[in-house]
Amino acid sequence: MSEEKKWEEILSQYAKEQTKRFSIPSKKCPICGEALINHRIPFGAVQRFINSKHSQLYGENLVLKYFSTLLPSSVEMSSRGLLRACWILHMTPKELVELGTNNKQELKKKLDSLDLYLANYFKNPSIPHVISKHAVKNICRSLAGFLRVNGVVQRGELFPRVFSMNIPKQKNYLPTKTDIKKLYFHAKTLRDKALIQFLANCPLRKREITRVKWSDINLEEEYPILVIEDKRLKGAGKGKYSGCTFAMVISQNLKKLLKKLKEVEKARFKKCRRMEIERLLQEGYPLNEAEEKTKHLTWSDDLPIFLSSDFVMDKRKGVRVIKKLEQRSIGYLFNELQKISGLPISCHLFRNYVETIITKKLGQANPLVDLALAHKPTGVRSKYQQVWKDREQMIKWFEKIEPYLDLELEPKKKVEIALKKFKELKAKGVSEEEAFTKAFETVQQMFLKEMTEVKNALLKEIEEAREEYERRYLK
């Protein structure tokens, strides 16, 4: 069998086979039915892959060595790319490095053959492409980086054809307010609802969200303004990120949710500390020592706003702790909400949504565009300097966009729609009675549409619960 034919067979089996070595999911996800090749591999499987004996050579973990050179935000994507590369090649990381060390030409020949096949794979439009160019590029980038860090190849030696492929920029889906409200409706906890409203109002990146503290927002003000300096934003204020600032007025609904969340979290900390002190006393610790060991469970406004719901044991400290919400957990939350709602809304898409609202309602030149995205002001927007210190101006701008960012302000918007419709009909010479009826019917149809969406979501949830019950217990 020729090498070209071999690679064709490997890729055709990629979505069908399962390797027991790394616990990769089966060919179809039992929950969503998505093809394995396009599926997000569970992080548990990725961790087993990282820590397995197949990743170690001469007592050194080759994969962790590679990860130490990456940004923390890139590790998950690169680990999945490397895992898939090993699966396609039917070789472990250890075997790849051993082959490259002992016979570099043989490894390069093998990878060059794959590079050629992948390049030709996308040239033939008649072939149904079960894998995207973006996925292939990530797989090749992860593998090339892994081999480079482990001293097998030099930068730029591998996959010249794949990396030179013309990959069109992906067009992001832009959610509407109705879509975001659908996610908000499906969020199960107060924290998750607050997180969605927070993103619709303050579209920070996942890492940045985990750094926002209660002390950053004065909830006693009528319109609080959240300001975050460059050191807590992307780039940590270094290089081109120096001088970036995030600033946004907090909507009334977000303020209400945060007040409620703060009360709930305060009560949780109090309860957890009491439970932990009782546990330590039962283990024989004196009261003063138990209180000292549980100081971390004392409420402080310097705590992150978004915390983990878990109360877990810290083996190093010997006590249970409440940790901040991790980036990965935010990603998992949105994965679940995507499955339930059927909407492909990621955490990052809120940035596109808020940017669109600001540019449409306030204009491209408004400084809120840069402040909401934590970008360094450019062009005409750079003349505003530290405009976030002007509370009156910030609130004046925000009031124009608040109905589109506050997920509870829909009734006010509907009144405006009804009044506008009524005035338009009156201007056309329609009688008051007829104009009233048509304006009222317009808003009534909006309510009916929303209620239909709610009904369909509930019916879908019931059906999925029945299917899950049958799958588990009636087989």
pLDDT higher than 60, residue 314: yes
Q: Which residue has the higher pLDDT, 172 or 316?
A: 316
Are residue 367 and residue 237 in the same domain, yes or no? yes
Average pLDDT of the residues of the chain: 83
Query: How far from 124 is each of 14, 127, 343, CA to CA, in Å?
Result: 19, 6, 31
Q: What pLDDT is stored for residue 58 in this prediction?
A: 81
- Mean predicted confidence (pLDDT) in 415-442: 87
Each residue of 44-95: pLDDT tens digit?
A: 667 777 777 878 888 888 888 998 888 766 787 888 888 888 877 878 888 8
Pair (205, 317) in one structural domain:
yes
Mean predicted confidence (pLDDT) in 436-465: 80
pLDDT band at 43 (very low <50, low <70, confident <90, very high): low
- Quick check: 168 pLDDT over 70? no
Q: Per the structure, how many domains does the chain have?
A: 3
Total number of residues shown for the chain: 475
Is 6 within the bounds of a domain?
Answer: no
12 lies in a domain? no
What average pLDDT does range 168-181 have in this prediction?
78
Q: What is the pLDDT of residues 117-163, one digit of tens each?
A: 777 777 776 666 667 788 888 889 999 999 999 999 888 889 898 88
Residues 159, 216 within the same domain: no
Q: pLDDT grade, residue 21 (50/70/90)? A: very low
Judge if 118 and 178 occupy the same domain.
no
- Does the pLDDT value for residue 4 go beyond 70? no
Same domain, 203 and 350: yes
Residue 7 lies in a domain: no
Residue-wise over 55-91: b if at least 16 C-beta within 10 A, else e? bbbeeebbbebbbeebeeeebbebbbbbbbbbbbbeb
55 and 182 in one domain? Answer: no
Return the pLDDT at 20: 37
Query: For residue 17, is it within any domain?
Result: no
Question: How much is the pLDDT for 26?
Answer: 40
* Residue 318 falls inside a structural domain: yes
What local confidence, expressed as pLDDT, does residue 180 receive? 93
% of the chain with per-residue pLDDT over 70: 84
Question: Do 316 and 416 sit in the same domain of this protein?
Answer: no
DSSP 18: -
> Does the structure show a pLDDT above 90 at 299?
yes
Could you give the CA distance from residue 276 to residue 445 in angstroms, rounded to a whole number? Answer: 54
Whether pLDDT at 271 is above 90: yes
pLDDT of residue 224: 95
Structural domain ending residue among the three candidates 357, 382, 406? 406
Let me know whether 358 and 432 are in one domain: no
Confidence band for 197, pLDDT divided at 50, 70 and 90 = very high
* Last residue in a domain, options 131, 164, 197: 164
Same domain? For 71 and 212 the reply is no
**Encoded tokens for 433:** 């009675």
- CA pair distance 36, 27, nearest whole angstrom: 5
Q: How many CA atoms lie within 13 A of 127 on its CB side?
A: 15
Give residue-wise pLDDT tens across range 206-247. 999 999 999 999 999 999 999 999 899 988 888 888 888 999
22 found inside a domain: no
Rounded (5°) CA angle 197-343-35: 135
- Dist. CA 436–CA 367, nearest whole Å: 40
Rounded CA separation 122/154 (Å):
26
User: Is 11 within the bounds of a domain?
Assistant: no
Asked whether residue 233 is assigned to any structural domain, the reply reads yes
Residue 30 has pLDDT above 60, yes or no: no
**What are phi and psi for residue 295, nearest 5 degrees?**
-60, -30
Q: Are residues 325 and 424 in the same domain?
A: no
Q: According to the model, what pLDDT value does residue 170 have?
A: 54
pLDDT value of position 470: 72
pLDDT for 76 equals 77
Boundary residue ending a domain (406, 424, 439): 406
What 8-state DSSP symbol labels residue 312?
Answer: E
> Structure pTM?
0.62
Residues 248, 295, single domain; the answer is yes
Q: Is it the case that residue 16 has pLDDT exceeding 50?
A: no
Beta bridge partners of 313: 320
pLDDT at 11: 47
Query: What's the one-letter identity of residue 80?
Result: R
Q: Return the CATH number at 220.
A: 1.10.443.10
- pLDDT grade for 22, boundaries at 50, 70 and 90: very low
Residues 415 and 402 reside in one and the same domain: no
Which residues form the domain of 450? 410-474
* Residue 279 reports pLDDT greater than 90: yes
